[in-house]
A = this chain, B = another copy of it.
């Protein structure tokens, strides 16, 4: 048995998210398990670092799998890519210690949220961006973003459906990058609550539009009240870019 770390890229548009659950067919996990099982002797279970939602994409998702097949580790990506659908790619495979776990050993993640900030939309990127027409005030958003950096209770920035018992998370950095006609918001943190990135982005957009005031961010954080934070921007703009390990 070998413990393999996979690095994965996928277009989440046509999937109901990462995680296989009862009554949710067509997940990324399911496609991977099917492909891996077809090259392995025994059925393979995949443990992903991040459970991306329906429509969310990945450039650097990671997963750990136990394999008994004797294929050299550097041949695994090509073997998998010849079986996987075109919109799921394994970009790397590495042999790890037997106790490595893609999810429990992850010490941080980087997400990118792409906003298409122009009057005329794009025929090519609409599945990967959130189309927002009014011109964004990037300097105001950057100022607001700095108040979210650090170890904080992000209870106000999670979906109602979130069941995490600990809502304290550390955000290491929020970069707001001008990629005219797009604006990219890149957030690095120790961990994220359900919908946390999408609510932070919605809050920064409402800071730009003036609906939320700069000085309100601290009040929102302290309140722990989801209703005070901004709206949840659509899943399609979100990409899991990287997962960090020690």
Contacts and interface: CB of A to CB of B under 8 A. Distances in A.
How many copies, total? 2
Nearest to A12: B123
A121 B86 contact: yes
Interface in A111-167: 119-124, 126, 128
Interface stretch (A65-73, A87-95, A101-109, A190-198): A87-95
B123 A9 contact: yes
Contacts of A124: 9, 11, 57, 87, 128
A47 interface: no
A18 interface: no
A88 B87 CA distance: 22
A77 interface: yes
Contacts of A77: 120
A123 B78 contact: no
Contacts of A86: 121, 123, 126
Contacts of A89: 120-123
A120 B80 CA distance: 11
A188 B124 CA distance: 22
A81 interface: yes
Contacts of A57: 123-124
Interface of A: 9-11, 57, 77-78, 81, 86-89, 91, 119-124, 126, 128
18 contacts: A9-B122, A9-B123, A10-B123, A11-B123, A11-B124, A57-B124, A81-B121, A86-B121, A86-B123, A86-B126, A87-B123, A87-B124, A87-B126, A88-B123, A89-B122, A89-B123, A91-B120, A124-B128
